[in-house]
Amino acid sequence: MTAAAKEKREVTLPEGVSLRRLAQVLLNAWEADPRRWMNASTLRSSPATEDGPPQLREGAPSQPAMPAPRDAMDLFRLLHERRVDYLLVGGMAMLTYIKGRNTEDVDLLLSLAALAKIPELKVEDQNDFFARGKFRSIQVDLLLTANPLFRIVSEKFATKHRFAEWEVPTANVEGLIVLKLYALPSLYRQFDMDRAALYENDIAMLIARHSPALDPLTTLASQYVEPGDKRELQKIISECCERAKLLRQRAGQ
């Protein structure tokens, strides 16, 4: 699809755009982060006490560091130059298909062997299937292919998104839907309603814009969730389809 065609579909990261726009997305999300305003309000309204300054007290929200645009560019340059086998997923990948999705970090799907090629990416927390790290000022969330579903996505649901500088391996529409379906039951168990609502909206938007075949995706995701979650996934995808239908109707499509 041409860059002009994607722009017509109102895509934030259309084909052919510079990777600098990706850096701008991170900066925009940082500027809009309510934690910054909460911290600023706390500092103005809460005097220091014997327990220490308000920003250092236990339980006070931490202020995220401002992402440096050059750091985002350098991360993807290193991934490209070192031929790292990875996929862009998460909010940034969504922005290659829709407009306006806010995201504060970069999400990558890769193996531990691939991660080892980027020692500059400092892993701060890790379990079997997920890790979180920092590349200078950029927060990076990692999905690890030790998870068999993540490996399938990396092998069968990958495409290339052409930026002005080079192509970036990116999850396709079907891959993003599978990943979000897989994540949703866990988000509900954690009572993370904000992220769950965001993920369901992402699925509805992808369905509304791209009309993917959903039965194989739901079947695949269902193989890797708890048995009790399978019926819930069917309900979620049905509700997302209804929402997508309403979106199309209201848009006159």
Question: Would you kindly state where each structural domain of the chain is located, as residue ranges?
Answer: 1-42+65-171, 172-247
Encode pLDDT of 187-226 as tens digits. 999 999 999 999 999 999 999 999 999 999 999 999 999 9
Q: What is the CA radius of gyration of the chain?
A: 19
* CB burial string 45-68: b at 16+ within 10 A, e below: eeeeeeeeebeeeeebeeebeebe
Give tens-digit pLDDT for 9-58.
Answer: 579 999 999 999 999 999 888 888 766 555 544 434 444 333 333 333 33
Q: Once rounded to an integer, what is the mean pLDDT over residues 218-240?
A: 96
Average pLDDT in the 64-78 region?
A: 87
Q: What is the model's pTM?
A: 0.85
pLDDT of residue 9: 58
pLDDT value at residue 117? 98
Q: How many helices (H) and strands (E) does the chain have?
A: 11, 7
Q: Cα(176)–Cα(89) distance, rounded to whole angstroms?
A: 7
pLDDT exceeds 80 at position 245:
yes
Residue 7, both tokens: 């722009």
Q: Residue 53: CB partners within 8 Å, gap ≥ 6?
A: none
Question: What local confidence, expressed as pLDDT, does residue 120 receive?
Answer: 97
What pLDDT score does 63 carry?
A: 59
Per-residue model confidence (pLDDT) at position 153:
98
What tens digit of pLDDT does each residue of 80-137 get? Answer: 999 999 999 999 999 999 998 889 999 999 999 999 999 999 999 999 999 999 999 9
Q: Cα separation of 23 and 12, whole Å?
A: 12
Q: 50-64, 126-140, 238-252 — which is least confidently predicted? A: 50-64
pLDDT at residue number 68: 79
pLDDT by residue (tens digit) across 146-169?
A: 999 999 999 999 999 999 999 999
The residues near 78 (Cβ < 8 Å, ≥ 6 apart) are: 84, 118, 120
1 band by pLDDT with thresholds 50, 70 and 90:
very low
| 3-class SS letters over 79-111 | HHHCCCCEEEEHHHHHCCCCCCCCCCCEEEEEC
β-partners of residue 169 are 160
Q: Output the CA torsion sign for 75, 24, 104, 181.
A: negative
Distance CA 54, CA 56 (A): 5
CATH 2.60.40 fits 1-42+65-171, yes or no: no
pLDDT of residue 38: 53
Three-state DSSP at 124 gives strand
